[in-house]
Amino acid sequence: MAKITLKGNPIHTVGELPQKGSKAPDFLLTTGELADVALKDYAGKKKILNIVPSLDTGTCAASAKRFNEAAAKLQDTVILTISNDLPFAQARFCSAEGIDNVITLSQLRNRDFGKAYGVEIVDGPIAGLLSRAVVVLDADDRVVYTQQVPEVGEEPDYDKAIAAVQ
């Protein structure tokens, strides 16, 4: 269980991020086109999992925009922004913000991702949402970098995440 904060108040996640060097847990998430996808659907690509509570917040929006800019310059890499937001809301956000280089994925039909990756918040006012975290996977789905952002309102370390796929 990771201890993080929301506006300085302690909250907890269901577990810890996957260990560096471990095989990433599989997932089943939903795209903006309402198709279900799994980790294997991104086989052979490096992956940055940008995990956020909701794209409807300033910090989450900022991280999606920043990773969108980075994605345009990365080769053989896919950036997946994952939240509990409905696919319709994710699509609306991306359209309004001009985000077209990252893939948004929702826990619409399956909530196992948050548990498998240790990022589901279990207490406090945003219990049930995902914590802010980054997990970077190599082309073989091995974890090469993780960051559990300690304060939900802070942005992740973009430079370290991007460096992990270069």
Show the domain range for 50: 3-16+23-163
Q: Give yes or no for residue 61 having a pLDDT over 90.
A: no
The CATH number that applies at residue 9 is 3.40.30.10
DSSP letter, residue 74: -
Q: Tens of pLDDT along 113-145?
A: 999 999 999 999 999 999 999 999 999 999 999
Single-letter code of the amino acid located at 45: K
Distances (CA, A) of 94 to 63, 65, 81: 12, 9, 11
Beta carbons of 57 and 131 less than 8 angstroms apart: no
**pTM score:** 0.95
Active site residues: 60
- Nearest residue to 59 (alpha-carbon basis) of 161, 9, 133, 120: 133
Give me the pLDDT at residue 64, please.
Answer: 87
Count up the domains in the chain and report the number.
1
Q: Tens of pLDDT along 22-55?
A: 999 999 999 999 999 999 999 999 999 999 999 8
- Nearest residue to 62 (alpha-carbon basis) of 160, 158, 138: 158
Q: Give yes or no for residue 60 having a pLDDT over 80.
A: no
